[in-house]
Every structure is written in C-alpha cells, then in structure tokens.
C-alpha cells in the first residue's frame, strides 16, 4: 500500500509540473550600442514570437538575461534573422536597427 501511494504521488507531481504554463520572461532592448540610449523591457513567452512594438527597427543592443534569442527583420518572426546567445552589446554591422520581432528560449 505504501509503495502504491508513493507511485501515485510521484505521478501526480510529474503531471502537475508538466502541465504548468510557460512563464513570461523579459529582454531589454536599447536604441544605442553598449546598452545606451532609450530602452524598454519586452515581455515574452519561451518559444513564442513577440513583436518589438515601438522599438521596431530601432534596436542596437540587447540584454537577454541568459536566454538565447533569434531576432527577425519583419513582424511575426518573418524575414531575415540573426541569432544571439546572451547579452549583445552591439548589433552594429550585423543586425543594427533591423529587429521587428523575436523569439527566445
């Protein structure tokens, strides 16, 4: 009986953890390199496309707080893209002022 109770408790715990919704997280985008200029935090859900809103085509540096992200040139995570793996102090020469949307993991 004790063994059966332990198995049921373990199954319930794993089912509950698996069904939890993905948590929102944020990145911070900046209009200048080296995290300068105007900035805002953009909230996202892991793996879901998020549009840059008023920062469309204005981003020059990004803080991801440990997340890996893919930046897209068009809304809806379409068009040319550029992958970043963590904080990126400068998008100059690679994707400066091009980001319109992103997805992070």
Looking up residue 84, the CATH number of its domain turns out to be: 2.60.20.10
Instruction: Report yes or no on 6 lying in a domain.
Output: no
71 in a domain, yes or no?
Answer: yes
pTM summary value: 0.78
Q: Give start and end residues of each alpha helix (H) in the chain.
A: 2-18
The domain tally of the chain equals 1
According to the model, what pLDDT value does residue 24 have? 81
Average confidence score pLDDT of the chain: 86
CB 61, CB 34: distance < 8 Å: yes
66 within a domain of the structure (yes/no):
yes
Model confidence pLDDT, tens digit, residues 26-72: 999 999 999 999 999 999 999 999 999 999 999 999 999 999 999 99
In angstroms, the CA 11 to CA 23 distance is: 22
Give the up-direction half-sphere exposure of residue 63: CA atoms within 13 A in the CB hemisphere. Answer: 11
Domain that holds residue 85: 23-104
Confidence at residue 23, expressed as pLDDT on a 0 to 100 scale: 62
Yes or no: say if 87 and 64 are a contact pair by the CB < 8 Å rule: yes
Choice among 14-18, 57-61, 80-84 with the minimum mean pLDDT: 14-18
Q: Pick the residue with more confidence: 20 or 44?
A: 44
Structure tokens at 8: 């049921």
Query: At a CB cut-off of 8 Å and minimum separation 6, what does 3 contact?
Result: none
Residues of the chain with pLDDT > 70, as a percent, come to 78
**CA separation for the pair 86, 57 (Å, rounded):** 20
57 belongs to a structural domain: yes
Q: Residue 14: inside a domain, yes or no?
A: no
Instruction: Indicate whether 78 belongs to any domain.
Output: yes
What is the reported pLDDT for 93?
94
Name the DSSP class of 92: T
What would the two tokens of residue 5 be?
């109770």
């Amino acid at each position: 009986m004790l063994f059966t109770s332990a198995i049921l408790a373990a199954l319930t715990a794993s089912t509950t953890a698996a069904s939890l919704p993905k948590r929102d997280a944020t990145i911070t985008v900046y209009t200048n390199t080296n995290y300068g200029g105007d900035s805002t935090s953009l909230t996202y859900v892991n793996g879901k496309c998020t549009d840059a809103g008023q920062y469309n085509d204005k981003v020059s540096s990004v803080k991801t707080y440990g997340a890996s992200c893919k930046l897209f040139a068009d809304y809806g995570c379409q068009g040319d893209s550029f992958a970043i793996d963590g904080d990126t102090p400068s998008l100059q020469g690679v994707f400066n002022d091009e980001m319109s949307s992103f997805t992070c993991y």
